[in-house]
Structure formats: C-alpha cells, structure tokens
Amino acid sequence: MARRRDGITRRDFLKLSVTIAAAAAAAPVARMAAPADSGGEGRVYYEFWYLEDPETIAYYEALGLVLEHNGRKCLANPLLPDRCLAYTVPAERDRWPIKPPGASKDFFSRCIRCGLCYFACSLAGYHAIRLAGLGDGGLRMLGTPVVDDMRNHPCTLCMECTRVCPTGALEEVLEEARERAAVRAEQAGGNVTEAREQDIELLVLDREILEKTRMGIALIDPDLCLAWNSGDCKSCASACPFGAVVFKFTFNPWGVHTEVKPEYCVGCGKCVHACPVGGAAIHVLPEDEYWRRVKNYKNTGMSYWDYLKLILRVEDEDPATATIRSQVNVEYVQKIRGVEEEKIVTELKGAGGGQA
C-alpha cells in the first residue's frame, strides 16, 4: 500500500541533512561498535564499509556516523547507531550448493552421478549446472549437480534436467503439475487439453508442486537495493518468471521497497542475474540458510522483517534520518559496488506485468 508523508519534500530533507552535518560537527567521534557486530556464527555473509579517505571520515564523523571496529573506522548504521552498517557480500562470494529444480527428498541416494542433467543444461545453452567437486561437500556431493552461479547463469526453469534424469533424483515436477491441473480441470468440467499445456506458472499455483520444485529462496538486502533507497527499480520482479505473485511492493517517497514473498519463490535466480547493483542486492539461498539469515538479519539482533519495518517506520516518522540512510547507502553502492544503469527496469514485464 502506498505510504504518504505531508508537509515537507525530499529536497527539504536533503537540505536538512546538510544542516545536521554541521550541527553534528561537535558530536563525539570514534565511538566503539557494539561487540555483536564482530561477525555472525559460521559463514559471515556481510561486510562493513571501512572508511579510509580522511575527507569521507571527516564528513561522516560530523554526522556522528563513525565507529571504531577492530582498529579501523567503519560507517555506523544510521538506524542502529552503535552498529557498523553491514552490506551483504557480492553474489560471487555468497554461493551455495543449490540443487536443480525438482530435487527429490532422497536426492543423494537416487543420483547416480551420470551427469545427464549437466549435459542437458549445457546443450540447452544455459550452463546453470556444474558438477560438484570434492571441495563442495566431500564424497556425498561429489559429481552431483549444483546451481551456484546465479549471477551469471541462473536456472531458466526449462526443466530439461528433470526430463533426462534417469533415476528420478530430479523429479519431473512440471509434468506432474500439468497432470494435477488436468485432473482438476476434468473434475470441474474444464478444458483438460489446455490444462495439460500450461507453462511454468503452474509451478507456483500448486503448493505441493512448488515445494517439490524449490531450489532456494531469494533475499533482498534493503541497504543495497535501489528500490529501498530512493530508487525506482523493479528489475528483479520483472525478470522473475512469476513476477507479482512472488513480489510485494510498498511505495513511499523513499522508493518502491521490493520484497520477495518466501512462500512463492522457487529460487531460480533470474532475479539475481537481473539486479543492476554490482554483486546483486538479491541472492538465492538454500532454505535452511535463508531461515537462519532472516532470524537475526546481518547480526542486527532483529529479524529481517523487523528490520524492514524499522526502515519504513523511520521513513514515516524521522525523515531526516531516513534521508541520511538513503544517502549513505546510495554512496556505498555507487562507490564500492557500482550500478549497471542499463539493467534498471522500472515497469513489471512478462508474467508479473500489471499486477503490482
């Protein structure tokens, strides 16, 4: 739902932030970051913005946004000033051994490491599958198919891999979805032939099939995403085969605020490929990693959804802080990650078109 803010424009806020910068010049600097920011358990999937340039340090010190962390100066999160602002690492460094669509529950005992899925994917020109090596997960995973470079080679859900798999390690979920749709059509007196010819949209319309198809779940970092920082970007939603079924938008003067509804995402990674932010602001994670990550998002001590709510609340109630947050994030993205402007799409296309 659109959110509204009366009486003051964004231009006013930008002016206000400069005033705040001057007023904050006397603010105490070199505060210590909260110890919890020293990194999460296991794999640390985010990084801080360590400031090196004296001019940048002076500017953010004037705003009271510089913390000491491990002997270095990091930028503080304007929403949580005792914590370093954390950004999800680029997708190339956030890879997971995700299985192709339709992986059966007993995938590892069924997969005979024949590589047929790999060849089918390569012959189709998608190159989404590679075969796992020893370093991916030992003998258990060796030779099994992995889809882990979604930034460059997402899964197109062509389903060729499921058709060629000789053991059912990858199940023919689309065919099963079509059969189920045909049965439903017959029971309802509908068109059975048409039901059998439906395309991949069927995969998310049938809950049981969706669960069987799922490779992972996509997660957007609101501190990197253009749509959460004053931008108008719907590149991920537009690239998603299921568009507005999967995505949710909250509009206000600070942006489109794009979210993935986890219950509908199959984890194909087309959104990761489409994101214009360097290293992608949206990553696909295996389900267990996704749920672990959203529980204590970027070690903020709050869930992913509470963090999103905090951003929206600050945008409503504290526009000066919201403006600074947005400025900081845009500067980080532009300076450190870069933006592929030609990839920015502002209209929903394809399956998602017109349903925002």
Residue 335 tokens, joined: 């300076």
The stretch near ligand SF4 (CB under 6 A) out of 23-31, 152-160, 179-187, 299-307 is: 152-160
Question: Is residue 200 a contact point for ligand SF4 (CB under 6 A)?
Answer: no
Instruction: Single out the segment in contact with ligand SF4 by CB under 6 A; choices: 136-144, 174-182, 264-272, 297-305.
Output: 264-272
Q: Cα–Cα distance between 74 and 90 in angstroms, integer?
A: 18
Is residue 173 part of the contact set for ligand SF4 (CB under 6 A)?
no
Q: Which of 96, 158, 148, 145 is nearest to 117 (CA)?
A: 145
Of the ranges 90-98, 175-183, 231-239, 313-321, which one interacts with ligand SF4 (CB under 6 A)?
231-239
Q: How far apart are CA 211 and CA 173, in angstroms?
A: 10
Contacts of 324 (CB under 8 A, 6+ apart): 17, 20, 63, 65, 78
Contacts for 216 with CB less than 8 Å, ≥ 6 apart? 96, 98, 265, 267, 269, 284, 285, 286, 287, 290
Residue 220 engages ligand SF4 in binding (rule: CB under 6 A): yes
Nearer to ligand SF4, 320 or 356 (CB): 356
Helix (H) or strand (E) segment spanning residue 249: strand 247-249
Query: Smallest gap, in angstroms, from Cβ of residue 35 to ligand SF4?
Result: 30
From the list 6-14, 73-81, 86-94, 151-159, the region that binds ligand SF4 by CB under 6 A is: 151-159
Smallest distance, Å, CB 47 to ligand SF4?
18
Q: Where in 84-113 is the site for ligand SF4 (CB under 6 A)?
A: 100-101
- If one asks whether residue 266 binds ligand SF4 (CB under 6 A), the answer comes out as yes
* Dihedrals phi, psi of 32, to nearest 5 degrees: -90, 140
* 101 versus 253: smaller Cβ distance to ligand SF4: 101
When the beta carbons of 66 and 271 are compared against ligand SF4, the nearer one is 271
Question: Measured in whole angstroms, how far is the alpha carbon of residue 348 from the centre of its chain?
Answer: 17
Among 225, 244, 308, 314, binds ligand SF4 (CB under 6 A): 225
Q: Which is nearer to ligand SF4, 61 or 259 (CB)?
A: 259
Cα–Cα distances in Å, from 171 out to 23, 143, 261, 278, 338? 62, 18, 24, 34, 39
Helix (H) or strand (E) holding 137: helix 134-141
Q: CA-CA distance, 186 to 24, in Å (whole number)?
A: 70
Radius of gyration from C-alpha coordinates of the chain: 23
Cα(249)–Cα(352) distance, integer angstroms: 12
Token pair, residue 296, equals 């204590």
- Residue 147 binds ligand SF4, judged by CB under 6 A: yes
Instruction: Return the range that interacts with ligand SF4 (CB under 6 A); candidates 47-55, 81-89, 269-277, 306-314.
Output: 269-277
Reading the block at residue 332, the tokens are 């980080």
Gap between the terminal Cα atoms of the chain: 10
Subset of residues 6 to 45 that bind ligand SF4, contact rule: CB under 6 A: none
269 in contact with ligand SF4 (CB under 6 A): yes
Type of residue found at 34: A
User: Does residue number 246 form part of the binding site for ligand SF4 (CB under 6 A)?
Assistant: yes
Residue 244 in the binding site for ligand SF4 (CB under 6 A): no
Q: Which residues contact ligand SF4 by CB under 6 A?
A: 100-101, 120-121, 124, 126, 128-129, 147, 155-161, 218, 220, 225-227, 233-236, 239-240, 242, 246, 258, 260, 265-271, 274-277, 281-282, 284
